Amino acid sequence: MGEQEGPLAAAIMNIEQALEWIAEVFEESPGRIVTTTLRKEIPGWDSLGTLSLIAALDERFDIHLSEQDIEGMQGVGDLFEILRRQGALQGA
């Protein structure tokens, strides 16, 4: 079986889809999450929420976060950087 790099094409999201996906992961109402939202502003993004995020990134995009990634995420912007780096997010 060959190695697969990055997410499947079908899983690549635009900004709007990514915001909806993040809202779903943290069980927030769609629209409450924007690109500048900070982790501390999302009640569901506590230590258990981070575990949910790790599982969701793995299941949907086959993305495995490094410890550095996990420690460095302070908000949606940092998460977007990871998604872009892994080819799961397109758009400015």
Residue ranges that bind other proteins, judged by CB under 8 A = 26-29, 43-44, 46, 48
- Choose between 46 and 85: whose C-beta lies nearer to other proteins: 46
Shortest separation between residue 79's beta carbon and other proteins, angstroms? 18
Burial of 16 (0-12, 13-18, 19+ CB in 10 A): exposed
- Choose between 34 and 85: whose C-beta lies nearer to other proteins: 34
For 20-86, give the DSSP string: HHHHHHTTPPTTS--TT-BGGG-TT-SHHHHHHHHHHHHHHH-----HHHHHH--BHHHHHHHHHHT
Shortest separation between residue 80's beta carbon and other proteins, angstroms? 22
Shortest separation between residue 88's beta carbon and other proteins, angstroms? 23
- Choose between 25 and 73: whose C-beta lies nearer to other proteins: 25
